[in-house]
Structure 1
């Protein structure tokens, strides 16, 4: 089957179109063999019409008529796969105020005010990325400073993890949130000593306000998705597992695919909160021989996040003993929607960050599915961030895949011990423990919660350090991964988590010719430099989709 061509033209892009196979020579190529072992090669042959790899090796024969490209000794890797991201959110964030680098509440407010002046026609001021843990006071912000800066239009600023939001009084009033408003199940309205809302809403309480924000138009959604596509290809990401889409986003994807404007691959998870879920499940999986848009899984939301103390814990938070976290989906409803998804034959992927939620999810997988169904279903726990040590072996026993994001550990290291204490860290961000028992980790970033750059994740997995090489020796260094294992998490193992390991992730003959060219050899540089790797070209199905440098004929 001939793979369709993308009609989208990028600023730095010129597509390769020819009838003959392409032979890429003089490369430092890395892929994987049939058993998952690292494979090296200096030549790669592919058909740019079928989009498939034809051969790889060191002295390939039978390609005398092929178009030859000199790789100039550059390093070539399989196209990287982000196993957990949010494309629409990423695209929207690229056009909103980014508070990721704010140094304090006042600094964040100043950034919001400056951004608002550039958007005078906007009905709402929208932003994301604040993290009170990184501010000197380490306390949630309030609406006092925000009201002083902007009082004439509503402001809504989502925390970096997406599990809390910060509003001014105008936004709270539009949502009808007052002293008398009750906390919804699975949510919390942060209040001052007099019981008045401070402007911060946790998890399900965010919905009280977000339903007031005007919905995006189809044109706005597609523009945001295109911005996300461009950004991800520039980072070497050729496939994304979109972790929870609604009906409108699925429609946008289908329209973009039909218009041949989807330049990378999407493995989409249906959001369990969408009213159309039952109808989607009845219709069955949406498969695609070109592997461009596949929908065969459901994303279910278990609990909140650690930073906002929404992750549900077995024992109370060490730094706030009156709290144990929140269930975004109540346990009975969690059971019902997991059963619905499993019975429909869909892969079931459950967000679980706290150790209590991880245990409940594992219990339900054990109760609701047979061993054969679990093995065939490749069901996943999204994040598997804090797991009781005795529950880690259950992932392997139940054939449940941990879908984990390495940069969460290096981002959370400043507050995780405060939240959990020392003892619970033994099962936190425990990548090596999972790998050692044979679990295949689906690697990802959780963008836009974290930055999408996959080399940041590979660096974090290998070093357990931030980009300033801190802490010395790594944070919980016993959980460091070897480089090859980290690379597998973002290639063939991520593909396995989408039933696509026979189609992509290894650069074996017959697989899609999805690959990237980078500026340095990962295996020849110090581990602390892994985050600095730059992508020079991204190819999908034998077609060049992004470039900053040319290869010579």
Structure 2
């Protein structure tokens, strides 16, 4: 056997490989795992130029797979005002005014992470924002990125002050005075302000699925490469070696391919084609072309992403029964069930994977119905179509995931009270009767579904260790609700082997075993020895992707 390029020794290796679940050392060569075993056994594979990493008793895991995130827009937002943890009018005012003073040339001031309860029981509207910054356009974006709030100057800038005619599910909320309140629900309502701010091309793959016009060249292209690299470095710093991006276009793929050609692609990336309601089925030719062109282990496509509904907090998630605190409202789908089924049948016929944002129980059912119709039309295959989020499910639909081979893609940071989202207004909006079927990780797992975990960054902090902690320490909202928490082993698997399964790579990724891809993370301590509440205090001291160190503490 050739000498290893890199060895990790003195670790507590959790391989995720049933044939050898534990070891103390790993050897990697030519981008693949050469051997897993004891320190002496692995050190024997080292040569004069072999890099040796001493784990010093820390856990060594397969590299984390971040199975639902938004790399380009998330990376761009890192440079904007961050309001996570800001609460109360005084704190909000101080943050906005300080940011405005530091950014005098910004056409629109953008702030991310504005909690729905940032002002407590009071509502954010244009008048509140006018009292803080009356003369500069400003827009606050909720953590879920489905609601924004703008001041009068911002609304006037883009012609939204008197409302707008928008597609179903997108709303400029109007006040009794006939003018916009400042609340903008869903992307087509607030995209004009992102465009005015010059941030639109970072969200094109999410907002339209289209391409920048004109295509950025020269300095603009290099600027976007730097933004993308910043996002990838953020991933690597958190032990992530593979991501399933959930918005995409050819431009993002071209940026990533340029980085790959320069030897600067530090994370494996899958980029989907984003199908929007206004598109016709012929647009799926582009999705098929992307799948043919990008099919490597470092950079790939082959997935079509759609949004079926919105989110619970703004009552835009689609429910089977009305919201508990908003009688008569069930949310409006972005596609009719019939239209979605037509699209799902065609995507499946092309052999592509489908991933659909589906938060309410009505959306989850409609998407599963579409997958079932695709199976009837095209025949049974190992499609592994995905349902993203699944925040509420009807009990009759639980078993359908396993029956259809559908993947439940879920986010441990998202349940109210689990990490960075408050309990209200979400749990009151869901209603007590639906609590047992909300964020049903264990319910789905025990029913035989493949459950894969992620953060939905930048909606939630990207840290997989924080997600693992949230999964392990999940608390019930009521004593008689089912326990939806995961064990530590289950949570680690949901960030490793299940992520590989979702990407059809379980034969070569997600485990530390001979022949598998050389992706791993070395932690600053033993994840099995720390208290569950302290898991997120551990940090990656080294991340290795494709046999190369991509992050070192």
TM-score class normalised by the smaller sequence: 0.7 to 0.9
How far apart, CA to CA, are the structure 2 residues paired with 1:452 and 1:65?
A: 35
Which residue of 1 is the match for residue 37 of structure 2? 57
Shift of 1:209: 4.2
Post-superposition Cα deviations, 1:190-209, rounded to whole Å, max 9, x if no partner, equal 22222321111101423454
Aligned 8 A contact 2:319 2:361 in 1 = yes
How far apart, CA to CA, are the structure 2 residues paired with 1:95 and 1:377?
A: 38
Which residue of 2 is the match for residue 232 of structure 1? 235
The question of 1:155 aligning with 2:161 is answered: no
Aligned 8 A contact 1:33 1:39 in 2 = yes
How far apart, CA to CA, are the structure 1 residues paired with 2:500 and 2:444?
A: 18
Give the count of matched residue pairs.
Answer: 521
How far apart, CA to CA, are the structure 2 residues paired with 1:227 and 1:488?
A: 27
Post-superposition Cα deviations, 1:491-543, rounded to whole Å, max 9, x if no partner, equal 01011101112221111110111111111211112212122221111111111
Shift of 1:226: 1.3
Post-superposition Cα deviations, 1:154-210, rounded to whole Å, max 9, x if no partner, equal 222221101011112222123222335345421122222223211111014234544
What SS class does the counterpart of residue 302 from structure 2 fall into? strand
Which residue of 2 is the match for residue 243 of structure 1? 246
Which residue of 2 is the match for residue 25 of structure 1? 9
Unpaired stretches in structure 1, ≥5 consecutive residues = 1-17, 466-470, 549-553
Unpaired stretches in structure 2, ≥5 consecutive residues = 202-219
Q: 1:474 to 1:213 in 2, by over 3 A?
A: farther
The question of 1:205 aligning with 2:192 is answered: no
Q: 1:373 to 1:262 in 2, by over 3 A?
A: farther
Which residue of 2 is the match for residue 166 of structure 1? 149
Which residue of 1 is the match for residue 168 of structure 2? 185
Choose which of 532, 535, 542 in structure 1 pairs with 2:537.
532
Q: How does 1:359-438 map to 2 (within 5 A)?
A: 359-370=365-376, 375-409=381-415, 410=418, 411=421, 413-438=423-448
Q: Which segment drifts farther, 512-521 or 365-374?
A: 365-374
How far apart, CA to CA, are the structure 1 residues paired with 2:401 and 2:457?
A: 25
Shift of 1:373: 5.4
Choose which of 261, 265, 269 in structure 1 pairs with 2:268.
265
Aligned 8 A contact 1:271 1:277 in 2 = no
Aligned 8 A contact 1:381 1:402 in 2 = yes
The question of 1:507 aligning with 2:512 is answered: yes
Which residue of 2 is the match for residue 99 of structure 1? 83
How far apart, CA to CA, are the structure 1 residues paired with 2:316 and 2:480?
A: 23
Choose which of 221, 236, 247 in structure 2 pairs with 1:218.
221
Q: 1:475 to 1:246 in 2, by over 3 A?
A: farther
What SS class does the counterpart of residue 441 from structure 1 fall into? strand
How far apart, CA to CA, are the structure 2 residues paired with 1:474 and 1:259?
A: 55
Shift of 1:134: 5.1
The question of 1:497 aligning with 2:502 is answered: yes
Aligned 8 A contact 1:54 1:510 in 2 = yes
Post-superposition Cα deviations, 1:77-113, rounded to whole Å, max 9, x if no partner, equal 1111110001112111110011121203553343122
Q: 1:248 to 1:127 in 2, by over 3 A?
A: farther
How far apart, CA to CA, are the structure 2 residues paired with 1:277 and 1:163?
A: 25
The question of 1:481 aligning with 2:478 is answered: no
Post-superposition Cα deviations, 1:243-272, rounded to whole Å, max 9, x if no partner, equal 011333222222222222211110122211
Which residue of 1 is the match for residue 28 of structure 2? 46
Post-superposition Cα deviations, 1:355-390, rounded to whole Å, max 9, x if no partner, equal 000000011111122498564111100111111111
Q: 1:375 to 1:105 in 2, by over 3 A?
A: farther
Aligned 8 A contact 1:306 1:354 in 2 = yes
Which residue of 1 is the match for residue 107 of structure 2? 123
Shift of 1:422: 1.2
Aligned 8 A contact 2:243 2:268 in 1 = yes
How far apart, CA to CA, are the structure 2 residues paired with 1:62 and 1:115?
A: 52
The question of 1:345 aligning with 2:351 is answered: yes
What SS class does the counterpart of residue 24 from structure 1 fall into? strand
How far apart, CA to CA, are the structure 2 residues paired with 1:332 and 1:167?
A: 35
Q: Which segment drifts farther, 530-539 or 249-258?
A: 249-258
Shift of 1:222: 2.0
Which residue of 1 is the match for residue 92 of structure 2? 108
Which residue of 2 is the match for residue 13 of structure 1? none
The question of 1:307 aligning with 2:310 is answered: no
Aligned 8 A contact 1:186 1:330 in 2 = no
Aligned 8 A contact 1:464 1:477 in 2 = no
Which residue of 1 is the match for residue 331 of structure 2? 325
The question of 1:521 aligning with 2:526 is answered: yes
